[in-house]
Amino acid sequence: MRVSTALVKGHGWAVFRVLLNVTILAGLSSLAIQLLLVKVFGSAHASFGLWASLIIAGALTTPYAAHALSVVYYRLTDPDRPLLPSHSPAGNPSGSNTKRHSDTKL
């Protein structure tokens, strides 16, 4: 718990806002998917419809929540690291100007 407190120190409200937004968006999306799928399956298969809608809604909203929370973690642990890697103008991502044997034309 001390590591978490130290990590969030000074950024508590920003982390809370992200957590709140992720919870609300994932919850509302999950609810909309569940209502849609329960209506599709109908009342004849109510228990199966509820089970299937919970599984599908969870499968669609959990990756969003996981991505958002991992972005928060990495922004807190390494704030100076760029979100996207920079590429050199020549298209060489490492930025070096050395040619490999496979780069030379015969």
The string of pLDDT tens digits covering residues 33-56 is 888 877 877 766 777 777 888 888
102 found inside a domain: no
pTM of the model: 0.62
96 found inside a domain: no
Q: What six digits make up the tokens of 27?
A: 């919850």
The predicted structure's pLDDT at residue 91: 56
The predicted structure's pLDDT at residue 104: 46
17 found inside a domain: no
**What is the domain count for the chain?**
1
Query: Which range of residues forms the domain containing residue 56?
Result: 33-78
The string of pLDDT tens digits covering residues 85-94 is 777 665 555 5
10 found inside a domain: no
91 found inside a domain: no
Q: Are the C-beta atoms of 13 and 20 separated by less than 8 Å?
A: no
Q: Could you give the CA distance from residue 2 to residue 7 in angstroms, rounded to a whole number?
A: 8
What is the average pLDDT score of the chain? 78
Q: Are the C-beta atoms of 59 and 82 separated by less than 8 Å?
A: no
Query: What is the per-residue DSSP string for 18-72?
Result: HHHHHHHHHHHHHHHHHHHHHHHHTTTTHHHHHHHHHHHHHHHHHHHHHHHHHHH
The string of pLDDT tens digits covering residues 96-106 is 555 544 444 44
